[in-house]
Structure 1
Amino acid sequence: METPTTQSVKIQHIRNATAKITYADKVFLVDPMLAKKDAYPGFEGTFRSHLRNPMIDLPMPVEDVMEGVDAVIVSHTHLDHWDDAAQELLPKGIPLFAQHEADAQIIRGQGFTDVRILGANVVFEGVHLTKTGGVHGTDSMYAVPDLAQSLGKVMGIVFQAPGSKTVYVAGDTVWGREVDETLAKFNPDVIILNTGDARLVGFSESIIMSKGDTLHAHQAAPNATIIAVHMDAINHTALSRQDLREYVQEKNIHDHVLIPDDGEILQF
């Protein structure tokens, strides 16, 4: 049997955690936040909550973001991953993947008619999509009932197809067992990490990853390319791209960690 031709993977970082991933000739829009600058108040109870979100505009017209999209993936329904503008602007019949039935019901309630649950090895037009686990904060945060409910459940996504590099979108998670298990099981070629070091008032730790997790990822998957996103766009992120660029230089991992600008296209 002939070896399949390797197909290139194109990842366009849009803003924050929003990405346009062209994979096996299908285009996925992940975690769309499409509002104009300053559309929403800052997140209450978080770092720099006096700032409005998003703090920057989209790098292109919203029509260009949506052009050619075959399916949407919403890792969870927090505003900075699935906002009012996305709900209003995206076609209501577009195939859309959610992490569980509760999120699917929310999204169906917003008028979307083709909402699917992402699970183990779901196939969408030749692309294998697998939901992976994650935790949106620390044990001490989840020990506070109201905060646990607010943080909620999250997922990551693994993309696979014959002849394509394996891509792992970790999502809004801290590093934990779920991430280790995903790396061991799938051995991804490309890992997208949300490294903005998002902070809550009253806690010293982040609810997502931070700069040290880029080093951890390189140590855990030395052959993978790491893409660091979820910076410079939302009020509660304490880590900037510039901070991270200095860190990866200091740790001498800059050849393994990509920190794309908004709108930048990476090809693998």
Structure 2
Amino acid sequence: MLKNSLNKFAKSVLLSSFLLGSHLLASEVTQIRNATVKINYGGKVFLVDPMFAVKDAYKGFEGTLNSHLNWPRVELPFSTDEILKDVDAVIITHTHEDHLDEVAIKELPKNILIFVQDEKDKNYLEKFGFTNIKIMKEDTFLGNVKLSITAGQHGSDEVMSYAKDVLGEVSGVIFQAKNEKTIYLAGDTVYNKYVEDVVERYSPDIIILNAGDAKLENGDSIIMGKEDVLKTHKIAPKSIIIASHMEAVNHASLTRGELKSFVKENGIEDFVLIPKDGESLEF
């Protein structure tokens, strides 16, 4: 009964061609490209990790898989004007270029409200003339929406032992509001105790995972892959998982097609949504 109900639910939420930025009664998550998502939640519109460059604008990240390939690997599905329409606040989980690039820095209004993870990122943005920056805490509010910063780790303990200076600090965020489903956007983290602790504490209904399995040149993963998606499902078996951060940077190793086959093989296709760029999910 539960599986059938969730199957109907999963099919009903997968929508195509929703207008960006429209204030709907339900929560809406729009996958834009890479880790850039737009979340219409609690009457507010949030833009997460904007990366606006045209296809192939940047050279591949040195020291990563397929560093010979330029990125972004695909074009934006919408114009930047459409993406920025009705945005109330921007959330920057960390300042790596594939989460905040030079084009976004140029095109974001300098007075737009931006939430960041720490003083270091705040200072970084202030250098570009942004004037309305707040550091997220566990009880940060915008209107009726409560934002709570969450911890993450941009690689395993082993990876961080030799690459911490490059990978740096990362974060995620919990979205909560009255009469809304709790959303957990995990950010650039691998599966670890931080993720387990967040799921245990907040019991999120919807979990957005950066699941493209980006790798360093030695093959070490620095964000989640398909096995991490399965692990997350096992600790949150009733949650709907949305796979983001896929097929857009040179070092992403997991395709949507591969993930789709994996979740089907493991019988979790009712719980894992894999939106295309430009696709919206309504809850």
Could you tell me the TM-score, scaled by structure 1's length? 0.95
Contact 2:152–2:189 (Cα < 8 Å) also in 1 = yes
Counterpart mapping for 1:211-226 below 5 A = 211-226=226-241
Give, in whole Å, the separation in 2 of the partners of 1:133 and 1:39.
31
User: Is 1:94 matched with 2:132?
Assistant: no
In structure 2, the residue matched to 1:30 is: 48
RMSD of aligned Cα (Å): 1.1
Whether 2:61 is the aligned partner of 1:18: answer: no
Match of 1:160 among 176, 182, 189: 176
Deviation at 1:60, TM superposition (A): 1.2
State the distance in 2 between where 1:141 and 1:225 align.
Answer: 29
Amino acid at match of 1:190: I
Q: Which residue of 1 aligns with 2:196?
A: 180
SS in 2 for 1:21: strand
Letter in structure 2 aligned against 1:184: E
Which of 200, 213, 217 is equivalent to 1:197? 213
Amino acid paired to 1:156: G
Post-superposition shift, 1:214?
A: 1.5
* Structure 2 CA distance for aligned equivalents of residues 13 and 210 of structure 1: 18
Match of 1:104 among 122, 127, 132: 122
In structure 2, the residue corresponding to 1:143 is in which secondary structure?
A: helix
**8 A Cα contact 2:171 2:187, kept in partner:** yes
Q: Secondary structure at the match of 1:42?
A: coil
Q: 2:244 pairs with 221, 229, 237, which one?
A: 229
Superposition misfits of 4+ residues, deviation over 3 angstroms: none
Mapping for residues 97-136 of structure 1, pairs under 5 Å: 97-136=115-154
- DSSP-derived class of the 2:67 partner: coil
The equivalent of 2:12 in structure 1 is none
Give the Å deviation of 1:110: 1.1
Q: Is the 8 A contact 2:92 2:99 kept in 1?
A: yes
Compute the displacement of 1:205 (Å): 2.8
- Partners of 2:209 and 2:193 in 1: CA distance: 15
Deviation at 1:175, TM superposition (A): 0.8
Q: What's the CA shift string for 1:129-188, capped at 9, x where partnerless?
A: 0000000012122222xx211100000100001111000000000111110110001000
Amino acid at match of 1:140: E
Aligned-residue offset at 1:229: 1.1
Supply the distance in 2 between the matched residues of 1:139 and 1:227 (Cα, whole angstroms): 25
**Kept in 1: contact 2:191–2:232 (CA 8 A):** no
What is the alpha-carbon distance in structure 2 between the residues aligned to residue 29 and residue 142 of structure 1?
28
The answer to whether residue 74 in structure 2 is matched with residue 56 in structure 1 is yes
Tell me, which stretches of 5 or more residues in structure 1 are unaligned? 1-6
Tell me how far 1:263 sits from its aligned partner. Answer: 0.5
Structure 1 residue 97, shift from structure 2 partner? 0.4
Secondary structure of residue in 2 paired with 1:174: coil
C-alpha displacement of 1:31: 0.5
Length-normalised TM-score, structure 2: 0.90
Per the alignment, residue 3 of structure 1 pairs with: none
Shift of the alpha carbon at 1:125? 1.4
Please give the per-residue CA displacement for 1:77-115, whole angstroms capped at 9, x wherever unaligned.
001100001100010000000000000100111110001
Residue identity (%): 47
Q: How many residues matched?
A: 260
Which residue does the alignment assign to 2:19?
none
Give 1:170's aligned amino acid. Answer: A
Matched residues in 1 for 2:159 and 2:186: separation? Answer: 20
2:261 is aligned with 1:246: yes
User: Quick one: distance in 1 between partners of 2:125 and 2:131?
Assistant: 9
1:4 paired residue number: none
